[in-house]
Structures are given as C-alpha cells and as structure tokens.
Structure 1
Amino acid sequence: MTDNVQPLNPIALELGPISVHWYGIIIACGIILGLWIATREADRLGWDKEIIIDFIMIAAPVAIICARIYYVAFEWEHYSQYPSQIIAIWQGGIAIHGALIGAVLTAIIYTRKKNISFWKLADIVAPSLILGQAIGRWGNFMNQEAHGGETTRAFLESLHLPNFIINQMFIDGTYYVPTFLYESSWDLLGFVILFFVLRRLKLKNGELFLSYLVWYSIGRFYVEGLRTDSLMLTSQLRIAQVVSLVLIGIGIIIFVYRRLKIRTHTSG
C-alpha cells in the first residue's frame, strides 16, 4: 500500500517558465493575515494603522532575507559548493530565528525614526508573528522538511491525523514524525493565549512580546530536539536549541527587571 503513496506537489501552478511554489504562497498568506490582525489591534489601541502597515511592509522582506542569510551561513559548507542555490528560497531553507533577528532590528530602527515605543509596537505585532509562524510551518509540510525521525504509519494513524498529512510524511520510502505539525500546533495555541487571554490583561508595555518570546522558545526547544534536519553549532549542539534557551533567559530577565523597575519607581 505504501508504494502507491504520492506526495503533494510543492508547485501550486506554473505560469510559463515561472513556477509558483506552495511554500511561498503559504508564507505570503501568513504575512497577509498577520498584517490584518495587527492593523485591527492598532485601531483598537488608537494607533495609526498606517504605521503598522509601513512597518510590516519593511520588516517582512527584511525578515525573510535575514532568515535565508542565517540558514545559508550555518549551511555554508553546502552552499559554498553550490552558490547558485543560495537564492533558491522556494526550495525551503529559512530559519525563524534569523527572521526574528531581522524583524527586531528593523523594529528598533523604525521606532527610533518614528519616535514611537518599540515595546508597544512589539506588543501589537506579537500575536501576528506567532500566528505567521504557525502558518509558515505548513510550507515546510509541502516541501516535506522540518520533520522528525523515522516512524511507522501505525504511529501516525494513532495520532488521528488525516491521510493527507500521513501520506506527506512518507518520504523516500519511509514515514517520518511530523514535527512541523507539533510546532505549528504549539504556535497556534500560543496565538490563542496571546490574542484572546494575555492582551486582555493589564500587562505593561512589552510584556506581551516577551511572553511570546518565552512561549515560542520553550516549544521550539522541545520540537527541535526531535528533528533530524537541525542546523548544528557543534556535533552535539543544535543551534535552535541554544538560541531558544538564550531567548527564554533574555525574555524572563527583561520581564522581571522591568517589573522591578516599575515597582521601585512606584514605591519611590
């Protein structure tokens, strides 16, 4: 039976010599939906939504470029031999941490130029960011990447997954653990918590973004340990796990520091 399993076509349509990949379409959908949610949040908070639109129009391409640079840098042994593949982003190979670095740097520069609060901007886009990541993982699904180790069809069926997911996890004659789905589900839950719970609380500026940083990093640390295609810092250290631990630490330290600072000013 497994011999007849056919993977989904990663190409959505072909326009003459141009192939439009599902990977790019899915990422674009994540950006568009995230933009819509962020502008609605800006309206709710009395912000000019044009500020959010301008920021995302700048930050999105910068983030994608940084995500690719990050990935290529840690896979340089391969890309130095095949430099023409460096720009082949439609084949996959972008790192979320690289995108996050690019987006944060863009936000710092943008908010300074506009003379607005970095933390407030970060809070507005945080739910959109984690939702975009949840959607983006389905681009990995279409490319049959970001998966875990070998498994059996019986295991996948025990997870009550639909057949189209199970079949797509059949790669070169072997079934693999759908870690892309684990991370996407974790991110989607994070979006629900950030957007429908935490943002309704009386949090201080920046605390929603810091909550996102810690939540995402906890999930990423676990899922990364299951993957077989991790970028490696050494033969034993996975880059994403190291970065996740650093981000968890940074998020908690900044959260506690700013709370203590506010309390000190209030008591003073």
Structure 2
Amino acid sequence: MKNETKFKKSNKFFDFINENREFPAALLMIIGVFLLIIIATKGFSTPPYSARAIKIGSFEIAWYAIFILTGIVFAAIMGLYESRKIGLSKSSLYDGLLIIVPLSILGARLYYVLFDPNKAANYHSIIDVLNFTNGGLAIHGAIIVAFIGTIVFCKVKKVNFWAVADLLVLGFLIGQIVGRWGNFFNQEAHGGVLQTTSVVFKVLPKFIREQMYIHGPEGLNYYHPTFLYESVLNFIALIAFLILRRFKVLKVGDTLAIYLMWYGLMRGLVIEPMRTDPLYIGGFEGVRANILLSLVLLFGGGLILLIFKYTLPVLKKLPYYYDASREDVKREQLVKEKTGNTKAVLFDLDGTILNSAKKIIKRYEITFAKHFPDIELTKEDKIDFIGPTLYQTFAKYSDDEKLIEEAVLTYRENAEITQRKDQAYPGVRQTFRRLKELNIKIGIVTSKSTKAAQLGLEQNKLMDYVDLIIGFEDVIEHKPHPASLEKALDIFNLRSSEVIYVGDHENDVEAAKRIEIMVVGVNYSLRRDKLLAAEPDFMVDNIEEILKLI
C-alpha cells in the first residue's frame, strides 16, 4: 500500500512537470546563461573582459553576438513549450522564427541608425548601415517590426494574433534577459557614474562592478550597470507571467498588454533616463527616442488592458490562458489514450485532401450565373459552398425542384471538365503511404459523388492507398448527420474509439462528435474560424501531422 501511495505521488509529480514544462525549461536556461557567463569571464577572473569570444585570423565572433544568439535559441525553446497551448504547430513556430527573428534584428538595426545622433558621421552607405559593429541594435525597433510581422504571419497562417503575440512577449523577455549580457562585455548601455559609497556599489558582484570601471562620459569611473537592471527586471516579469498564466488570472492578449505597460514604464521612466548613450529624434537637441516610444508602449498597453479588452468584440471573447492550457493537457491525454489504438483514418476530400475549395467556388459562380442570375453572392455565401452537398446548397436559394436539379447537372458538367486540375495538398501521398505501412485503413467520407471522388484521387495517384469511399449516393442523410461515418465504421467493422476523422468544415466536426470519433481540423481551411468554433479535438497545419496522433 505504501509503495502504491508513493507511486501515485510520483505520478502526480511527473504529471505536474509535464503540465508545467516551462518552469524546468526556464531553470535550465538560467543555468545555461550562468555557465556562459563563467566561460566568458574565465571563471570570474579579474576584469576587464574581452568583448571578443573567438578570433581566427581576420575572422572574429563577439560575445555580444553569442549572447544574442543564445537568447534567440532559448526563446525558441520556450516557444516550443508554450506554442502547444495556443494550437500553434512546431512547423508554424519554425516558420515564424525564420521570418520574425531576421526581420526583428533588421528592425533593431534600422531603428538605431535612424535615431543615432551621429548618423551623419557614422553611416555613408548601405554597408555602413548593415555593419552591426558600427553602432548597435535597439530593442524598440525589434518590437515594432516583430509585431507588424506577427500580424501578417497570423493573417497568412490563420492563427489568433493575440495568442501568438503573448507567445512573442515571452520570447522578447528571454532575448532581453540574455542579450543584455552582451552589452556587459562590450562595456556599453550603461548609466551615469556609480558612487562607490552607494548601496548598489556595495551589493554588486565584484566582477560586474569592476567591468563597469571604464572610460565613460565623465572620465575613468564606475558606471551604473543598467544592462543588469534591465535584465533582472525582465527576468522578474518572465517568472511572473509564467506563474500567472497557470491561474485563471490572465486572458489571452493580457500578456502582451501588460508587457507593453511593464517595459514602457521600466525602460522609459527607470532605465532610459539613466543611460549615457541615448538615441534622439531630431539630433542632440531633440527628444530622446527611447523614452518617447516607451511612453507610447505604456499608453498602448494600457489601452488594450483597460479599454479595448472590454469594448472590442474580438478581445472580449478571448478565453483565459488557464482554460486554453487545461484544454491542451486534456488533448494530450486523449492522444495518449488513443496511442496504438487507431486502426483507420477517415478523411473528408475537398479542402482536406484536395486543394479544390477555390475551384469549387468558381464552379458555383458559373452555375449561379446561369440558373440564379439575380442572386448577388457575398464572400460569406461563397465560403458556405464548401462542405454541403450540391442539393443542400442550391436548395437554400430555391424551392423549385426542377431548377435545383438543373443547377446540380450544370455544376457536375462543369466539374467533369475542371476537376482534373484539382491537386492534392503537399504531403498527402507520403502520409497515405506511411499509414499503409502501419497497416492503418484509409477511408474517404465526402459529400461528392463516389465517381467524382475516385477521379480526384486517381489523378493524384492516391486511389491505390484508399480502402473505402463513402460518397453522396451512399447515404440518405449527409453531414453534419453522422450516417456516412457510421457506414464507414460498419464496413471497417471498427469502433468509434479506433478511428480518427480529418476534415475542414464544422459539419465534419459535428458529425464526428455525434458518434464520439476523435476529429481533427485543418488550419488551411477556408472556413477556419467556423471550424475552430466547432471545437475539433486537434488542429493541424498539414496532413503529415496526422501521423503524430496515431
């Protein structure tokens, strides 16, 4: 009994670690940074320390670059742990990193050059601008470009901006925490003179204090290590966010708003006034750029948190991060329960396997122009064409059975001509091949006719992998009624728990849920918002990710 109790406690401990992997990850990052500092200082030897880490001939690598790169890597690692909470796949995360990180670095550089009071003397060509050793980087520029890039990225990937922005904030905090140590070795980004009689001077570690004994604006003196102040304050913010996101306190989007307020306040009113190397708008006689922008960030974060959160519909309906986190844990448990138990995967066809949605809309437009010329189709109308049967769609616009039959005939005649151009999405064939290697049956459940479905599969060389097609004519009731899925289960002689269904439409989700089949939605659906609202068990960016659920 005692051993059993210990085992249960052990399980609870590991379950806690699994659900809160960000904390051990953060601990490992702290250890990693500490070890890197030990290496760079040669075991905290007597300062000053070299800014150069590696030199081979004329080739040099600075500690600044190493710390910046380390911050990016650590931010990416944290992103891997946190992205699962918002349904962002690893592939999408990597895509985002490959796009946002270089743009952020470029933005940080351009911001620095733009507001450098000595830009007329320092930058004479594009080479000078892109020479990062000539001057430096400014985090405010990275923030601006990163969030603009994130808006575009989320639009293209069809993921929630506020959730991704929250994730980006954690990455920024980690990057700033680690990257500031590069300033330490460059003996830059410091404040004014630090009095040797001050409390700060006495509590500072000797290796930091002595590295800050430099030739500065006021001669050879000890200077405030503002890099350290900012790094520590950002570390406090990171830990606070990681803790608060474990409770029903922060909603999706709150992390972004609080970060903007926190960083705007901390940088604009605490750190920046201490700095001796400010950037200016309008030259030396102008306004301090970083203080002004920090106040803008503070104001913007306040608007989001205190006003927009309660007035904008898109923000009002966002869930608590805690709820999103718990849902993720439930889904992971669902995968564990089904591991090794899946014996068949059923797929919707159009918009899931075949990239045919836009062509389907075009065929409908041609049909409507002929049979319903007085109807002006909206964008929403056209999106609603995806999923239902032909009869269901045309019946929404007319009660005339003859007219509906004529419209169906026209559509099918046009489809026979154009369907041969329908291409499968990338990775479908490889996924089908792998499923067959695993002895997992493949079925197609579609609102199309069986003949049309077979044609689309054959032209993409997929038919040899498919064990079953349930088409329009095979059932009386169509999705969202589960009749087609039930028929597939009967033919395969399988239980609901042994099957996964993959679709791009909310009808797919409803049909699967009605008979308790695990259902997966695709992020590339034209109806993604409605698909998400139906709450599929999982969302994937591409068909190949289905293999992770097997």
Give yes or no for TM over 0.5: yes
Asked if 1 retains the 8 angstrom alpha-carbon contact of 2:309 and 2:316, the reply is: no
Aligned to 1:183: 230
Aligned to 2:276: 228
Aligned to 1:51: 92
Asked if 2 retains the 8 angstrom alpha-carbon contact of 1:151 and 1:176, the reply is: yes
Asked if 2 retains the 8 angstrom alpha-carbon contact of 1:153 and 1:166, the reply is: no
What letter is aligned with 2:275?
R
In the alignment, the residues of structure 1 paired with residue 49 and residue 196 of structure 2 have an alpha-carbon distance, to the nearest angstrom, of 17
Greater RCO, CA 8 A, separation 6+ = 1
CA offsets, 1:82-116, max 9 Å, x none?
87543331465111000111111110111111111
Asked if 2 retains the 8 angstrom alpha-carbon contact of 1:39 and 1:53, the reply is: no
Q: How much has 1:201 moved relative to structure 2?
A: 3.0
Choose the corresponding residue for 1:256, options 284, 288, 306: 306
Aligned to 2:140: 97
Matches within 5 A, 1:120-139: 120-139=163-182
Asked if 1 retains the 8 angstrom alpha-carbon contact of 2:86 and 2:164, the reply is: no
In the alignment, the residues of structure 2 paired with residue 92 and residue 164 of structure 1 have an alpha-carbon distance, to the nearest angstrom, of 25
Aligned to 1:192: 239
Aligned to 1:13: 54
Aligned to 1:218: 265
SS of the counterpart of 1:13?
A: strand
In the alignment, the residues of structure 1 paired with residue 316 and residue 287 of structure 2 have an alpha-carbon distance, to the nearest angstrom, of 42
Asked if 1 retains the 8 angstrom alpha-carbon contact of 2:47 and 2:207, the reply is: no
Choose the corresponding residue for 2:161, options 95, 111, 118: 118
SS of the counterpart of 2:271?
A: helix
Residues 9 and 237 (structure 1), Cα distance of their counterparts in 2 relative to 1, 3 Å cut:
same
What letter is aligned with 1:205?
V
In the alignment, the residues of structure 2 paired with residue 209 and residue 255 of structure 1 have an alpha-carbon distance, to the nearest angstrom, of 9
What letter is aligned with 1:200?
F
Asked if 2 retains the 8 angstrom alpha-carbon contact of 1:24 and 1:90, the reply is: no
In the alignment, the residues of structure 2 paired with residue 30 and residue 23 of structure 1 have an alpha-carbon distance, to the nearest angstrom, of 11
Q: How much has 1:261 moved relative to structure 2?
A: 2.2
Aligned to 2:546: none
Aligned to 2:289: 239
CA offsets, 1:99-147, max 9 Å, x none?
1111111101111111111111111221121121121111111111110
In the alignment, the residues of structure 1 paired with residue 111 and residue 210 of structure 2 have an alpha-carbon distance, to the nearest angstrom, of 31
What letter is aligned with 1:161?
L
Residues 49 and 83 (structure 1), Cα distance of their counterparts in 2 relative to 1, 3 Å cut:
closer
In the alignment, the residues of structure 1 paired with residue 58 and residue 246 of structure 2 have an alpha-carbon distance, to the nearest angstrom, of 46
Aligned to 1:162: 205
What letter is aligned with 2:181?
W
In the alignment, the residues of structure 2 paired with residue 265 and residue 135 of structure 1 have an alpha-carbon distance, to the nearest angstrom, of 35
Structure 2: state its 5+ residue gaps: 1-45, 318-550
In the alignment, the residues of structure 1 paired with residue 316 and residue 211 of structure 2 have an alpha-carbon distance, to the nearest angstrom, of 56
Larger Rg: 2
Asked if 2 retains the 8 angstrom alpha-carbon contact of 1:123 and 1:205, the reply is: yes
Structure 2 residue 86 is the aligned partner of structure 1 residue 38:
no
In the alignment, the residues of structure 1 paired with residue 150 and residue 83 of structure 2 have an alpha-carbon distance, to the nearest angstrom, of 15
Residues 166 and 158 (structure 1), Cα distance of their counterparts in 2 relative to 1, 3 Å cut:
closer
Asked if 1 retains the 8 angstrom alpha-carbon contact of 2:53 and 2:62, the reply is: yes
Alignment coverage as a number of residue pairs: 262
Q: How much has 1:156 moved relative to structure 2?
A: 7.2
Asked if 2 retains the 8 angstrom alpha-carbon contact of 1:79 and 1:85, the reply is: yes
Asked if 2 retains the 8 angstrom alpha-carbon contact of 1:91 and 1:143, the reply is: no
CA offsets, 1:153-174, max 9 Å, x none?
4437644111111111011222
What letter is aligned with 1:233?
I
Q: How much has 1:190 moved relative to structure 2?
A: 0.9
- What is the root-mean-square deviation of aligned Cα atoms in Å? 2.3
Residues 128 and 65 (structure 1), Cα distance of their counterparts in 2 relative to 1, 3 Å cut:
same
Residues 156 and 265 (structure 1), Cα distance of their counterparts in 2 relative to 1, 3 Å cut:
closer
SS of the counterpart of 1:171?
A: strand
CA offsets, 1:64-98, max 9 Å, x none?
11100110111222323587543331465111000
Higher helix share: 1
